[in-house]
Amino acid sequence: MTETRDKAVTWLTQEAYDRLKAELDHLSGPGRIEISAKIEAARDEGDLRENGGYHAAKEEQGKIEARIIQLQEILAHARVGSAPQTEGVASPGMTVTVRFDGDDEEVTFLLASREESSGAPIDVYSPRSPLGSAINGKKVGEKASYTLPNGRTLSVEVLEAVPYVGN
């Protein structure tokens, strides 16, 4: 994901875009029909207060509707192709190596969206994560700070940023 002047963009390969679009098409078409049939069948069993099948089907319906909304949002802001990349600058699609202040160990990961990274053989950090958003756009040698969920602030230095070459 990168920032444009007006909104966030999620960069996807054609394969990832097609996979997400197919999932959306299935869930919003046959998926909705299937879950409606399950709910109707469970409703016909009687008292809804003690009907486990009905409650499970309603919960499944809620998950399907939430995923439909999530997919619509991703696809609405997606661009097919590769994010503009500059070697030496941490950005989506780059393999980034960092070192945390106070730690000699280096950490290498792919900076990419979850939708794009399925099957990646290395750890993947989202550009929307606290670490990802802190280093996004930083050049080799630059430092960034970000806040952890526990409220602590952590500093990190970008050591390397090279295009991800895949599996």
**Segments making up each domain of the chain, as ranges:** 2-80, 94-163
Q: Is the pLDDT of residue 63 over 70?
A: yes
Q: CA-CA distance, 56 to 39, in Å (whole number)?
A: 9
Phi and psi for 89 in degrees, rounded to 5?
A: -125, 125
Closest CA to 37 of 13, 52, 57, 20: 57
| Topology classification of domain 2-80 | Helix Hairpins (1.10.287)
Which residues contact residue 141 at a Cβ distance below 8 angstroms, ignoring those fewer than 6 apart? 157, 158
Single pTM value for the model: 0.55
Tell me the angle at which helices 52-76 and 32-43 cross, rounded to the nearest 10 degrees: 160
Query: Does residue 154 contact residue 144 with C-beta atoms inside 8 Å?
Result: no
Q: What is the distance in angstroms between the CA of the first residue and the CA of the last residue of the chain?
A: 20
Q: What percent of the chain has pLDDT over 90?
A: 37
Query: Does residue 66 contact residue 44 with C-beta atoms inside 8 Å?
Result: no
Per-residue confidence band for 4, with pLDDT thresholds at 50, 70 and 90? very low
Query: Does residue 67 contact residue 106 with C-beta atoms inside 8 Å?
Result: no
Q: Is the pLDDT of residue 69 over 50?
A: yes
Q: CA-CA distance, 107 to 97, in Å (whole number)?
A: 5
CB atoms within 10 A of CB 17: 20
Per-residue confidence band for 83, with pLDDT thresholds at 50, 70 and 90? low
Closest CA to 122 of 79, 72, 78, 164: 164
Supply the mean pLDDT for the chain.
83
Q: Is the pLDDT of residue 159 over 80?
A: yes
Report pLDDT for 134: 94
Per-residue confidence band for 73, with pLDDT thresholds at 50, 70 and 90? confident
**Could you tell me which residue, 110 or 10, shows the higher pLDDT?**
110
Q: CA-CA distance, 106 to 89, in Å (whole number)?
A: 17
At the second CATH level, the architecture of 94-163 is Roll (3.10)
